[in-house]
Amino acid sequence: MNLVPVIERSLQRRAAVRYRLRLPVIFHWNDGADHTEGGFTVDVALDGAFILSSRCPRVGSEVRIEILLPSPDQSAEELRIECVGKVMRVVSEPGCSGFGVHGTFDDDHLTRQVHL
């Protein structure tokens, strides 16, 4: 079974406007041990995101995600927007898995880092 139709059906139920963006993401959670993993967004909204990753936190886990944004002026500055949220669902198929996070993104969670 292909994971894309499952994701598309679940996206149709969303109230917030979703933007289909494939952006790199780093996420962190603790289930008795600290974990840091990476993946890519499938979609992003003001109230959360769906993330593809080979390793996913469990449903109900609190997770902190950092979406890495390209700099609009092509500088060495890296933009990150952060969200602390809750894992609402996990979808897993052979060779592909992902999870949906409900949380809030806003300007207060935008950070800039300069890489030389």
Domains and CATH numbers, the chain: 3-114 (2.40.10.220)
- What integer pLDDT is reported at residue 84 of this predicted model? 92
Residue predicted with more confidence, 62 or 96: 62
C-alpha dihedral, 29 to 31 to 35 to 36, nearest 10°: -20
Residue predicted with more confidence, 93 or 8: 93
Whether 19 has a pLDDT exceeding 80, the answer reads: yes
Tokens 């449903």 correspond to 59
- 86-110 tens-digit pLDDT: 999 999 988 889 999 999 876 665 5
Structure tokens at 35: 């974990």
Do 11 and 98 meet the contact criterion of CB atoms below 8 Å apart? Answer: no
